[in-house]
Structure 1
Amino acid sequence: MSLASNARLGLAMRFQVAVDGIDLGGWRSCKGLAVTFENETFIDGGNYDAKSFLPKCVDYPPVTLQRAMTAADSARVQQWLAGLVENWVNGYGVYRGGTAQITLLDSMGTRVSSWSLRNVLPRSWRGPELDAKGAEIAIEQLELVHEGFL
């Protein structure tokens, strides 16, 4: 496959994440953008050389985001999570999940593709492992469950 000289390829390290229009900042990695089409195998009686497949369900795994912690970006995530906790715990309403937008960019910052995850809810947030003997960068992780992007 040859590429046109003006082809703009999506770069795996250039993407944006927002939930309900709230920019959650830049992330180092995004894993779990996938869909599995589950099927039931059906074998007709007396037909020994063929199988039929019936659609069963569509499954979307959780999306896991990781990045180095920064003051501004990490604060936005904490504010978003705190708002959800306040809503859930204090009963200010029922939050059925928002829409997360993950946008893949090219080298010029132009949108190449995007995924709109329906009814997104946080499954977990994990902060860095702190160790005075280490020299690692502090990494945070946010895991989101959703009802799909197709």
Structure 2
Amino acid sequence: MAGEKQDNVWPLPAFYFKVEIGSLGEIAFKEVSGLDAEAQIIEYRHGNSPQFSTIKMPGIKKYSNIQLKKGVFAKDNKLFDWFNTIKLNTIQREAVTISLLDEEGNPTMVWKLANAWPTKVTGVSLKSDGNEVAVEQLDMAHEGLVIENA
């Protein structure tokens, strides 16, 4: 009822977060997506199975690429500079921390990416008849995802 003390736990809002990329430091992004992990399925059937069917077992873990979107600011080329460090098969890999924050700015949930590196930087879309903010996108590959709850 209205006015009663509520002991319910509410879901966390997803709009207050911060992103730290290794040596690049903290960068303000407007959107983060792709925090996915999955285990590939291995189907196996042994020779004397009474059912003529397979059993399913977990295989190799696989992580999606992360997409980060941010507004473009004058004289801010951090993302392009990082992307341009790619030379043949060498790249500057970074640890990435994505933190969902509470109302005081304390981390409540943290995603840590291991050995992240940029796979794609998408520049802004320019339209003479539009009035949107200039936004660029960074796609990153990584080799592991750890989730921590504070």
TM-score, normalization by structure 2: 0.77
Q: CA deviation at 1:97?
A: 1.3
Q: Which amino acid aligns with 2:71?
A: A
Give how far 1:104 is off.
1.0
Amino acid at match of 1:102: I
Q: Partner amino acid for 1:137? A: V
Counterpart contact for 1:17–1:26, Cα < 8 Å: yes
2:55 matches 1:59? no
Verify the 8 A CA contact 1:31 1:64 in the aligned structure 2.
yes
* Residue segments in structure 2 that go unaligned for 5+ positions in a row: 1-5
2:137 to 138, 141, 147: 141
Looking at secondary structure, tell me which structure has more strand per residue.
2
Alignment partner of 2:109: what SS?
A: strand
Q: Which has the higher contact order (CA 8 A, sep 6+)?
A: 1
Identity %, equivalent residues: 21
CA distance in 2, matches of 1:127, 1:96: 21
- The residue type equivalent to 1:25 in the other structure is I
Checking the alignment, whether the CA contact within 8 Å between 2:45 and 2:54 is kept in structure 1 is yes
Aligned residue for 1:34? Answer: 36
Letter of the 1:125 counterpart: V
Q: How large is the RMSD of aligned CA atoms in angstroms?
A: 2.7
SS at match of 1:57: strand
Where 1:102 maps in the other structure, the secondary structure is strand
Name the one with the larger helix percent: 1
1:126 aligns with 2:122: yes
Deviations 1:85-113 (A, max 9, x none): 2x444x9xx54511111111112211011
Measure, in 2, the Cα distance between the counterparts of 1:47 and 1:107: 57
Q: Which residue of 1 aligns with 2:19?
A: 17
Any idea what SS the aligned residue of 1:124 has? Answer: strand
Q: Give the distance between the partners of 1:83 and 1:42, measured in 2 at CA.
A: 43
1:115 shift after superposition: 1.4
- Number of residue pairs aligned between Structure 1 and Structure 2: 139
Query: Would you say 1:110 and 2:106 are equivalent positions?
Result: yes
Structure 1's unaligned 5+ residue stretches are: none
Q: Residue type matched to 1:98 in 2? A: E
Deviation at 1:18, TM superposition (A): 1.2
Hey, what's the Cα distance between the residues in 2 that align with 1:27 and 1:83? 16
Change beyond 3 A, Cα 1:63–1:21: same
Say if 2:37 and 2:62, in contact at 8 Å, map to a contact too.
Answer: yes
